[in-house]
Structure 1
Amino acid sequence: MQLVSDLQQRPKKGRLKIEKRIVLLYDLCSVVQFTVFLIHTVTTMIGANRTFQRSIIVNNEFKLAPAIVFKTRNCIYSTSRSIYAFQDVNMTFTPSSVNDVFVDQAIQMRLAIFICVVTFVVGGVNRMMVEMNLFVVKYRNFYFWKDIVSATELILLAYVAQIAAAVSPPKNLLHDYLRHCGIEGNAYLPFISTVNLWVFVGVGYFTYALGLAIYLNNTTPKYGIMTPQEIEEYKAWLRARRAEHEQSRLLIEEARKAHARIHMMSTADYRIGSEMPVVAAPMMPPYPYPMMPGAGPNQMAYPQPYPYPYPYPFPYGGYQGLMPPPLPPPSMAMPDAGMPGGGHHLPPPQMFGAGMMLPQSPMQYDMAPEMVPGAALPVNDAPQPPINMPRRRIVPNMAHGNSTVYQ
């Protein structure tokens, strides 16, 4: 029932003139449908109340009214008709068997009333969405398209037409039966016309046919029946709409990337080894090392060599108070955590400077004061760490067979 596609949708104040005028026609069609529905409902209820003892709206035994029973007490009617999918069927109606045909027609007429109510409500919702210029109802990730409402209304209209076609054979049979039995009145249910149902269905399909014709006229030619001014406005609006869609697409893509980064950061394992207890290491005292009270000039302040294996002390390394990497406690040490090729009795590689940061100063290891000609040596004559410690190599000795020697 929309006259333009969702890609040609315009703001409500900028809609085409034909879109504003078609709403009035849809309202007129709704009024016609409601009128014929009321006529059909009222006439059906009046005829049913005169034909049956109780109302057909509620479930009952559908007993015929005493007047019809009295007038048809001795009436027998035989005929040959084509009914439903059968042709040339010989039928004989008696006062005891004709009641089934009355019940069949009454049920079909009652069903037509209820289906017409549902169809009118769905059609009203559909036309209201056209007036509101609404193509889809969105709620979070749920999309409800208006086309579903239109398809439902078309199916219900087809159902009403099927009921109107199915009620005609029993109605014609009962009409001829009552005339054969001498009943001349037209107030009974078999004399109620089904034209109102066909008008109801025809008006509903007319609105869709007219809307489809105008829709094709708007889409098959590029701009349809729009004026030149409306065409320019539509072009400008279409460019703005496409730019807005592109911007929205870029924003959605950036949001997805940011969400993916946050998800990766939240799920990544950055706590490897965090269960190991952290052993606080003391700061390395600056050089020269403090002397023990009463110690000699060549005696350090510690009873054993300085435990931190940084290659050079403060004047040579350039870092005052450098913290060496902490070592794991003995309880967590690995069995073979000594030197490569040795056992657990050997010191770990960290004691020889393995894995420690290089001093960030212009001075290199091979440019220590001891190796620079004319450089002043330290005043303190305490034992200094070796400048370059050679690494032990294990090489085979051919003179002793396969035994290894150290070099």
Structure 2
Amino acid sequence: MNADLLVDLDQYRANLAALRAYAPDALQMAVVKANAYGHGMVPMARAARQGGADWLGVATPAEALELRAAGDRGPLLCWLAVPGAPFAELVAADVEVTASGVDQLQAIAAAGDRPRVQLKVDTGLSRNGAFGPQWDELVAAAARLQEAGSIEVSGIWSHFASADDPDNPSNDHQESVFRAAVDQLASAGVDPGVRHLANSAAAVTRPSSHFDLVRMGIASYGIDPDPAVHVPEVRPVLTARTVLANVKRVPAGASVSYGWRWTADRETTLGLVPVGYGEGIHRTASNRAEVGFDGKRAPVRGTICMDQLVVDLGDRPARIGDPVTVFGPGDDGEPTAQDWADAAGTIAYEIVTRLAGRWSRTYRGER
């Protein structure tokens, strides 16, 4: 083991089961985009199906086609495509695709025999999806194409901007806009199909937004959508671990790493941890983050480098090869992804999705 991500598939399945209890009358989509938030897309997708997830959700066509190539055959939604996207391949692979405008809808309609398509309405995030007159045009085009037998509208959906802030008035506004969009589609003679608006945070805090399906993303990996939205029933799935590459005793006055941004005020033992921003570790966490070592935490000292970082072990015994937990569930005193997010001034989503470079992945609980 040099730098290894231990992924607990049993815990992931347990998380999905626990989250289902928040929306027992809705279908569940396990979101596995961005390499399953850094956990490994194909193994997590397989575990999600084993755990009873009704749908899988991905962002890009490449992700959807990779899942199909790996053998997945269940309901699968893809929602982010650019001009020239391989809609014909997606339709042939029985992937449901999202249309956010008339041109995109027409491209999908031309890609196969009555493809199943979901319509995305922009309810206030001002990101993807159709808004205002564009939505009116999309509804009219969908009704026309479905009447002609060119498409089958299978769903309508949108995304909250502030579900991780449950009291934010934008949530009421967006849900109201979504309900109006559903009614508008039905009034045009189109069965809306599966309606979905809720992400992890809304699934936990806003039952009125559950509709027919909820999309479980970050919470399914055991990470709270926000420190203000705690989900006590789930537990982190991923542990980032490595070993000490070097150990040295240094005197008071010794400075550490690039820029000498930390200087020892006492004699201490430094441990070299062989991961850095080349593995997705945030350089902005320099001098603020901690790792787990021997059942306690050890602070990062100095600037985090491309391939390595230095931690202060104090007077604790340490040898080259001793295990280090960069972050994990926190059960053994180690920091969590949220702790690293706090140190880096970001969100826990970014801590796990940035993991790249020279990590290997080990899966526990494979079936």
Q: TM-score range by the shorter chain?
A: under 0.3
Which structure dedicates a bigger proportion of its chain to helix?
A: 1
TM-score of the aligned structures, taking structure 2 as reference length? 0.20
Higher relative contact order (CA 8 A, sep 6+): 2
Which of the two has higher C-alpha Rg?
Answer: 1
